[in-house]
A and B are shown apart, each in its own frame.
Chain A
Amino acid sequence: MAEVEETLKRIQSQKGVQGIIIVNAEGIPIKTTLDNSSTVQYAGLIHQSVMKARSTVRDIDPQNDLTFLRIRSKKNEIMIAPDKDYFLIVIQNPSD
């Protein structure tokens, strides 16, 4: 049980990680390490992206499913790992 907490703590302490957000299936953030406004913004926008990506993958082959999504931008990298009911968003700047 505490493994997950520990894992998240370790992720948070990794080099360059700016924040972690846990979002539920409807796009409402449940737990976050960022401030409120950023969290809400990230959650809303990323939720749509993930739904679209998942839809794309599954449309091509319904037996397939999305395991991971990475959006690399100039300033940082957003990694999203979707689960059945939740997804985990981590924002990292690896060159920090």
Chain B
Amino acid sequence: DRHLSRCDTKINVIVHFCDRKDEDDGTEIGEGGDEWMHGKTLIKPPDQLDLTEAELKEEFTRILTANNPHAPQNIVRYSFKERSYKPISSVDQLAVHFFLEGNLLHRDSDEARRQKAKQGLPDEKATVALECDVSFFPQLQAAGGEEAGDVEEGGGEDGAHSVDSKTGKKEQKLTNQFNFSERASQTLNNPLRERGCQTEPPPRASFSATANQWEIYDVYLEEMQKQEKNKEKAKAVPKKEDDKVIYVLAKVAKIIERMVNQNTFDDIAQDFRYFEDASDEFREQEGTLLPLWKFQYDQAKRLSVTALCWNQSYKDLFAVGLGSYDFTKQGRGMLVFYSLKNSTYPEYNYPTTSGILCLDIHPDRPYLVAVGFYDGCVAVYNLKEERPEPVYKSSSKSGKHTDPVWQVRWQKDDMDNHQNFFSVSSDGRVVSWTLVKSELVFTDIIKLSLVGAVSEGPEGVPPPTMACGTSFDFHKQINYLFLVGTEEGKIHKCSKAYSSQFLETYDAHNMAVDAVKWNQFHPKVFISCSSDWTVKIWDHTIRTPVFIFDLNAAVGDVAWSPYSSTVFAAVTADGKVHVFDLGINKYEAICQQPVVAKKKTKLTHIEFNPVYPIIIVGDDRGYVTSLKLSPNLRSKPKEKKGQELPRGPEVEIAKMEKLLSLLREPENSKA
């Protein structure tokens, strides 16, 4: 066969197939092929290839492989991993030639069994469908326990039926046809009930919040506080339990009150801050005082202001001591604190049994206030405490004065860090009081003796040798040096070190010295005023006054200004405030202004505010008026062009010194 030409083979194959179809066996085919071969030599198809003998004899190798010739050899698939097309190495060589889904099942397979079962039932059902249903009902009734006969009948029927029903299914059940009874019973089917219950849905609340920066900060703060508490394990301090809501609002209510007041007195507040009297430009040297707030307290109506003091730390807070200067009308007193922020009601007030005559606020501890009374007691109040009584009070056992205390002044803490203050009284003693734990310890510093009156009185009784101190002041820089003014009109310069002798005595006034004050800047200058209508300025090295001013009425108080060494103010009994500036006018006041409406009101005290350009003036009706100083009263020396204006205490001292030297020179020349 290998020598067969190509076309012969082809034709051969075709012939094979055709034969197969007719179901002939192979031998016949072979024969057919032989016959055809025989015919080859004789018949040649017209389009047969002409090949040479050599070509005809060429051997062609045919290899049978299992490869599917139709299978593609270069299938390429896209690989997502490598993101490129990759050739598939092995290609499926299976070639399916014929595919037919059949529906033959093996008889033992699941599907076959299922089908059998299904086929079995439909056959039976078709025959006995209705009869079966009927048969079941009487059975139910039979289960109720009826007579045997009935049952039998039913059973007999059943029997017949059941026979029928069973025929189709399996092998026939042989039954006794005479008295066969089949019993069946059905248990009571409990009626099904469905029970359900619904629970109450859990309470829900929807929560929303914003996570702001400050909320986060708050949470962190709380955490920190908790941690700190755990660390400390502090004992639980019993807090005051405020039952009512309203009591929590104390601070807030205060703020609101101040704001409401600010609104009500809005124009005053604006004036206080911003108003500068423009007409001062045209007034040459004079100035004016602009009235601002007026402070009054109902319960203090009939008392007169006996002391004023600004607080050094809280520049808007000042203390007012109320009492009476009248010897015959002595009664109660009051210590009241006002703030400029609220002019209608005091911040603190303490009623006292005896009139207050003087007070002083501690410069470093603004909550401590020393008070001197008309009955000779001194007391110290602590503003931080809630109670209305003083924390310390002197009593007759502990060295209180026997006469009214006219002035108290705090001193620097002593070496044991105890606070102490001095007091001066009409009984002629200058006493130092020290706050030791819970009591006041007193030390007599000096006893003021009358100078020069050594003559014997009638009946050989020695005259009283004690002078009555009415005011004193400590030097700003030299701590031990102080001045005392007496009722006799003399001023004594004393030192804390010497208890029996004065360093110097000045014949100051003809009547009691009401106030004596050192200058804030110049270390040598002090001022004094008296009911003899005069105000005198002294240089403590000279025994005569440097300046004398006559004010035509009893002078209640005088005060240096904190911003200039040459400016001071005085108040008189006719209701006027006099402001002097020695740098501008050495002989006259640059401002003389009545500040209280009725002329019968006497002004009793005056104080400059340490920072703001205002003064407070107290009168004998219990009112305190605040006034703003106009620019002329606060003038600073004009700066020369090109030069920076030097500020500071040295300038002030220099100013004063210049003034004094001017005065001294003519004196010297005179002398």
Q: Are A8 and B214 neighbours in the complex by a CB distance under 8 Å?
A: no
Q: Are A88 and B344 neighbours in the complex by a CB distance under 8 Å?
A: no
CA distance in complex: A12, B261 (Å): 11
The stretch of B245-253, B503-511, B538-546 in contact with A is: B245-253
Q: Are A4 and B250 neighbours in the complex by a CB distance under 8 Å?
A: yes
| A52 CB → nearest B CB, Å | 11
Do A5 and B260 form a contact, CB below 8 Å, given A62-B214, A81-B255?
no
Point out the residues of chain A lying under 8 angstroms from B213, CB to CB. 58-59, 62
Answer yes or no: B212 CB below 8 A from chain A CBs: yes
Q: Are B212 and A79 neighbours in the complex by a CB distance under 8 Å?
A: no
Chain B binding site: helix, strand, loop or mixed by DSSP? Answer: helix
Answer yes or no: B75 CB below 8 A from chain A CBs: no
Answer yes or no: B664 CB below 8 A from chain A CBs: no
Do A24 and B245 form a contact, CB below 8 Å, given A10-B344, A55-B212, A68-B259?
yes
| A66 CB → nearest B CB, Å | 11
Tell me which of B212, B217, B248, B344 contacts A83 (CB under 8 A): B248
Do A58 and B259 form a contact, CB below 8 Å, given A5-B246, A85-B248?
no
Tell me which of A10, A16, A22, A58 contacts B257 (CB under 8 A): A10
| B134 CB → nearest A CB, Å | 77
Q: Are B246 and A59 neighbours in the complex by a CB distance under 8 Å?
A: no
Chain A binding site: helix, strand, loop or mixed by DSSP? Answer: mixed
Answer yes or no: A30 CB below 8 A from chain B CBs: yes
Q: Are B253 and A88 neighbours in the complex by a CB distance under 8 Å?
A: yes
CA distance in complex: A68, B259 (Å): 9
Q: Are A59 and B344 neighbours in the complex by a CB distance under 8 Å?
A: no
Point out the residues of chain B lying under 8 angstroms from A94, CB to CB. 263-264, 266
Interface size on B, residues (CB 8 A): 29
Do A22 and B246 form a contact, CB below 8 Å, given A17-B260, A79-B259, A88-B253?
yes
Q: Are B255 and A67 neighbours in the complex by a CB distance under 8 Å?
A: yes
Tell me which of B217, B255, B257 contacts A68 (CB under 8 A): B255
Answer yes or no: A38 CB below 8 A from chain B CBs: no
Residues 215-265 of B at the A interface (beta carbon under 8 Å): 216-218, 242, 245-257, 259-261, 263-264
Who on chain B is nearest to A15 by CB? B264
Point out the residues of chain A lying under 8 angstroms from B250, CB to CB. 3-4, 7
| B207 CB → nearest A CB, Å | 14
Chain A interface residue number, banded: 35 or more
Point out the residues of chain B lying under 8 angstroms from A14, CB to CB. 260-261, 264, 344
Tell me which of A22, A59, A90 contacts B212 (CB under 8 A): A59
CA distance in complex: A20, B271 (Å): 28
Q: Are A62 and B256 neighbours in the complex by a CB distance under 8 Å?
A: no
Q: Are A86 and B245 neighbours in the complex by a CB distance under 8 Å?
A: yes
| B386 CB → nearest A CB, Å | 10
Residues 40-57 of A at the B interface (beta carbon under 8 Å): 55
Point out the residues of chain A lying under 8 angstroms from B255, CB to CB. 67-68, 81
Answer yes or no: B345 CB below 8 A from chain A CBs: yes
Do A30 and B251 form a contact, CB below 8 Å, given A10-B257, A16-B263, A77-B263?
no
Q: Are B259 and A70 neighbours in the complex by a CB distance under 8 Å?
A: yes
Do A10 and B252 form a contact, CB below 8 Å, given A5-B246, A94-B266?
no
- The interface bits of chain A over 24-46 (1 if a CB of B lies within 8 angstroms of the residue's CB, else 0) are 10000011000000000000000
| A71 CB → nearest B CB, Å | 12
| A95 CB → nearest B CB, Å | 9
Do A88 and B261 form a contact, CB below 8 Å, given A10-B344, A14-B344, A68-B255?
no
Q: Are A1 and B247 neighbours in the complex by a CB distance under 8 Å?
A: yes
Answer yes or no: A63 CB below 8 A from chain B CBs: yes
Tell me which of A59, A70, A79, A82 contacts B214 (CB under 8 A): A59
Point out the residues of chain A lying under 8 angstroms from B264, CB to CB. 14-16, 92, 94
Point out the residues of chain A lying under 8 angstroms from B216, CB to CB. 62
CA distance in complex: A82, B256 (Å): 10
| A79 CB → nearest B CB, Å | 5
CA distance in complex: A87, B212 (Å): 21
CA distance in complex: A96, B514 (Å): 45
CA distance in complex: A62, B214 (Å): 5
Point out the residues of chain B lying under 8 angstroms from A10, CB to CB. 257, 344-345
Point out the residues of chain A lying under 8 angstroms from B217, CB to CB. 58, 62-63
- The interface bits of chain B over 440-465 (1 if a CB of A lies within 8 angstroms of the residue's CB, else 0) are 00000000000000000000000000
Do A92 and B263 form a contact, CB below 8 Å, given A4-B247, A11-B256?
yes
CA distance in complex: A85, B242 (Å): 14
Question: Can you report 15 A-B residue pairs in the complex whose CB atoms are below 8 A from each other?
Answer: A11-B253, A11-B257, A11-B260, A14-B260, A14-B261, A58-B217, A59-B213, A62-B217, A67-B255, A81-B259, A82-B252, A86-B248, A86-B249, A92-B260, A94-B264
Assuming A16-B263, A88-B253, what are 19 further A-B pairs, CB within 8 angstroms? Answer: A4-B247, A4-B253, A7-B250, A8-B246, A10-B344, A22-B249, A55-B212, A58-B213, A59-B213, A67-B255, A79-B260, A81-B252, A83-B248, A85-B248, A86-B248, A86-B252, A87-B252, A88-B249, A94-B263
